[in-house]
Structure 1
């Protein structure tokens, strides 16, 4: 009976992980907005940067909010904000409208990522947490790799997409957000009480004074920087080096998420058998090989292989870093969760730096920025407990 009860709670939580993946539509969407409005790389990269900017502002306050209203209510609030963000593009794709939509998408995702991961820890505990978080990332990745396909379908099939073109992606995901709200709203989840009084904003930030928490925070920044960077840059590499059109090059984003999805799925089983440190090292090394390949080779097949390696390698980084941080300070998981999700601000820093680098020297400059993140993750491997 207990396993059936846990499963009934896991299903709505995993649907929320699917909704969490909506944030990754920003990569392909920014490419379409760039084409529609004739923007430069630097201008187009403002969109993913803006989405992840809100993680810097809202993550720690969300950790404090969770301590007062609970994790489940915070997740529900995040889904409502996400619904609003997906509603706006139904009315058009002007620059200001898309800026507002992506801002709300970032705010909703900051609320969701901060609260959903610790909510899962009330259902799955101990050593199984990392593999369960990875499975959640697998569900999230399904939404991520479907987004380019839905956008491409909308862009090339004008009648079925009701004249919205690639923007048909938004109402489709909006309906799923509503279903997630309804299912989670009627699910009872007992939440663990935190030790002592809820922390203040200053006390939350003070946790960065603990070396391992700070290293994990930077690790999250690098993970999401590589993630958003590949999501956004992969089509541009094909367009620059092979002269492909956007609709064809958009497959590179789907390829990344296909292998990231496969990596999450297999990782949820591998992490039950292999220690986190070894698996993290293998994952980081695969990404390093891929970055070297993107510098050295220019054939379509090799570029696709490198993108696939980045997707597979980056698929389990977040789960391992996040679970390591939670297990390091289990009595302060709301605060630690807020800090780790604030690290998703790397999704702002990396695209901005990559946009400037690519405007200056081409897409190889963007690859160089991501390589810095990969090298840091290799260093972080040394700090992980087996």
Structure 2
């Protein structure tokens, strides 16, 4: 491929990183919004995350098999078509205001995202010189962070109405007026998701018309022979568990952020969405700062320190009053920043020819994002949203254990993000 063609392909694949980051980071907007529009409990609204993240667990291996047979370009194209199809389903889901319809749409979107994530990381590394592969990957991942910052801003501006009908106001409304209010709330997702779907279809068209390299062989540099079951790799197993708890904590903290601010500090949903965007900007900054710190502090020790910081900050969020818990929760986003790539890199370190399988297991641990928000929602329904933040606080204990277990490791190469 010529340099201009390669550059164009890099741009298109980088767009994929932005698209799936944007889609996943709309969930914290959809959770309070659909809770209101569909009249849900907290545990029911948490199923929004479950529908998204369970797809990664169920579809990761089928996505890999599909691309092994038909190629990465076909996988990317199919992923984009599923992504677009799921967004278009939001229109009839909003018309009927059936929550199960929304969950099906979210699962289809996430299935498409699974295909995109499975393909994009290896693709970006072969689009150009081998020496600059890691640089290209990190550059592309920075757009994932940009999407995380922009999604709550866009969702807050174009989806959230900022209007909440109190129990007293509801009693003063007729049944027809209240149903019209709920329908208006549900309908606000229709145009934004149609626009997202249109953009995704355009990218799919561009991808289908672009010459992308065919990866003929993989893992040629992994010469270490496999010996024994992958489950005998103790550090990998502990790392998979740590990643399961980490993704669960990350999703819990972001997804219920708006609900937390509403309950604890009486902050309106639009202002809360803007504050979430600021917190996720802190997450992105924290990743760059954490990478810099790793020049002086070993990754496992920094992971342990950040785990302790998050446990302490979440304790303040649970037991504090006023704006203090809000600031503590914003701080947690900063200290989560390095965790996914650090756990990933430490988990697969030294696996040799088992690296690809080990990587798949760590990625499948993203299913933690489907489990812990439901637990947190149940705790909130039984007590309060503030108390429910004990759930992610507990999640950081296995991460701390994994970090301490790896104290002897001095350095790792961070190439994965989420």
The whole-number CA distance in structure 2 between the counterparts of 1:166 and 1:311 is 26
1:377 aligns with 2:395: no
When structure 1 is superposed on structure 2, of 49-58 and 320-329 the one drifting more is 320-329
The whole-number CA distance in structure 2 between the counterparts of 1:337 and 1:130 is 16
Match of 1:193 in 2: 217
Aligned to 1:110, which of 114, 117, 121? 114
Structure 2: state its 5+ residue gaps: 163-183, 221-225, 412-418
Using the TM superposition, give the Cα deviation of residue 129 of structure 1 relative to its aligned residue in structure 2, in angstroms: 7.1
1:17 aligns with 2:21: no
Change (3 A) 1:349 1:143: same
Change (3 A) 1:38 1:164: closer
Aligned to 2:142, which of 101, 113, 138? 138
1:304 aligns with 2:326: yes
SS in 1 for 2:40: coil
Match of 1:351 in 2: 373
Using the TM superposition, give the Cα deviation of residue 337 of structure 1 relative to its aligned residue in structure 2, in angstroms: 3.5
The whole-number CA distance in structure 1 between the counterparts of 2:138 and 2:290 is 7
Using the TM superposition, give the Cα deviation of residue 126 of structure 1 relative to its aligned residue in structure 2, in angstroms: 9.3
Larger radius of gyration between Structure 1 and Structure 2: 2
Change (3 A) 1:257 1:246: same
The whole-number CA distance in structure 2 between the counterparts of 1:331 and 1:125 is 23
Using the TM superposition, give the Cα deviation of residue 240 of structure 1 relative to its aligned residue in structure 2, in angstroms: 1.6
When structure 1 is superposed on structure 2, of 209-218 and 27-36 the one drifting more is 209-218
Equivalent residue pairs, number: 374
Match of 1:199 in 2: none
SS in 2 for 1:250: helix
- Please, what TM-score do these two structures have when normalized by structure 1? 0.83
- Please, what TM-score do these two structures have when normalized by structure 2? 0.77
Structure 1: state its 5+ residue gaps: 197-202
Match of 2:55 in 1: 54
Match of 1:216 in 2: 239
The whole-number CA distance in structure 1 between the counterparts of 2:39 and 2:196 is 26
Cα deviation 1:238-280 (Å, max 9, x = unaligned): 2222233333333343233221222234456555776433443
1:83 aligns with 2:84: yes
1:42 aligns with 2:48: no
The whole-number CA distance in structure 2 between the counterparts of 1:180 and 1:273 is 41
SS in 2 for 1:39: coil
Change (3 A) 1:61 1:23: same
Over the aligned positions, Cα root-mean-square deviation in angstroms equals 3.4
The whole-number CA distance in structure 2 between the counterparts of 1:335 and 1:272 is 29
Change (3 A) 1:179 1:210: farther
Change (3 A) 1:278 1:339: same
1:171 aligns with 2:194: yes
Change (3 A) 1:289 1:270: same
The whole-number CA distance in structure 1 between the counterparts of 2:145 and 2:256 is 18
Kept in 2, the 8 Å contact 1:122–1:192? The answer is no
Change (3 A) 1:382 1:189: farther
Change (3 A) 1:342 1:277: same
Using the TM superposition, give the Cα deviation of residue 149 of structure 1 relative to its aligned residue in structure 2, in angstroms: 1.9
SS in 1 for 2:147: helix
Using the TM superposition, give the Cα deviation of residue 33 of structure 1 relative to its aligned residue in structure 2, in angstroms: 0.5
Change (3 A) 1:357 1:125: farther
Aligned to 1:248, which of 252, 258, 271? 271
Using the TM superposition, give the Cα deviation of residue 69 of structure 1 relative to its aligned residue in structure 2, in angstroms: 3.1
The whole-number CA distance in structure 1 between the counterparts of 2:257 and 2:207 is 35
SS in 1 for 2:120: helix
Match of 1:339 in 2: 361
The whole-number CA distance in structure 1 between the counterparts of 2:28 and 2:18 is 17
Using the TM superposition, give the Cα deviation of residue 64 of structure 1 relative to its aligned residue in structure 2, in angstroms: 3.3
Using the TM superposition, give the Cα deviation of residue 133 of structure 1 relative to its aligned residue in structure 2, in angstroms: 5.1
Kept in 2, the 8 Å contact 1:56–1:344? The answer is yes
Cα deviation 1:13-71 (Å, max 9, x = unaligned): 22111112112212211210101121110111111112112222112232333333334
